[in-house]
Amino acid sequence: MFKTRLLSGIVLLSLMIFFLVMGGRFLWFFMLVISLVGVFELNRVFKIENKLPGIACYGATIIWYNMLLFYGDKDPFIFVCAWLIILLGIYVFSYPGFNATQIMAAFFGLFYVSVMLSYIFRTRELDQGIYLVWMILICSWGSDTCAYCVGVLIGKHKMSPKLSPKKSIEGAIGGVIGSLLLTGIYGFLLSERIGVDTRGAMLLALVGGIGALVSMVGDLAASAIKRNYNIKDYGSLIPGHGGILDRFDSIIITAPIIYYLCSMVMGV
């Protein structure tokens, strides 16, 4: 199992590195595919993966990514309203084909998966985005690795025993400090290329700490959904890791935070 998990992790990381370096439409297409798979996994939890609300969610995901590519998100609230109206139309005209929970799940799923993950592409499109986008991985997977190591070594106090018994308060603190250090070192080493001074590099380190905190919320939130619906993994696409949502659970909500915080720091 460890060998399988390690190899699949290396493959996934290699793919991420390749598409993040390429950027542009290569990354856009990759994130679109990842989002569609993630939406499918979440739809399957609510048993709408091949039903009208779920199919509409796939279509809305494609529309959202095309809006980002060709128009940006100048007025995303129009998209939100249109998506809600479409789902309410499906709910009303197919009644009682779907329950309210399934309709709300489709509405939630589009934003929880597709919109949030699209911020990886949006971060890459920022000025100096080729450097800033890596902070998403550092804050998510980097802090997770640090939290795991610290938790194994000195973890004693459970952070959320009912939701995630293996996670400890010590591990969480280690994850945040680890992310602060990693992003701080990253910022200082690349300060000239990124175009920030010492103060800017320190602010990026702070962004890393905030991103680590947020990533833990994303991890636990994904676990909470799984526990509510008594499933072990969202899927089996990534051997040893589960599905897309199992591997990208922390990145989902870290990406938009990093996007907005980095935008603020770069504007300082």
Q: pLDDT by residue (tens digit) across 127-149?
A: 889 999 999 998 888 888 888 88
At 158, the pLDDT band (50, 70, 90 cuts) reads: confident
Q: pLDDT by residue (tens digit) across 214-254?
A: 998 888 898 899 989 988 889 888 877 789 999 898 899 99
Average pLDDT, integer, range 24-32: 96
Q: How far apart are CA 45 and CA 30, in angstroms?
A: 23
Q: pLDDT by residue (tens digit) across 192-214?
A: 888 778 888 888 888 888 988 89
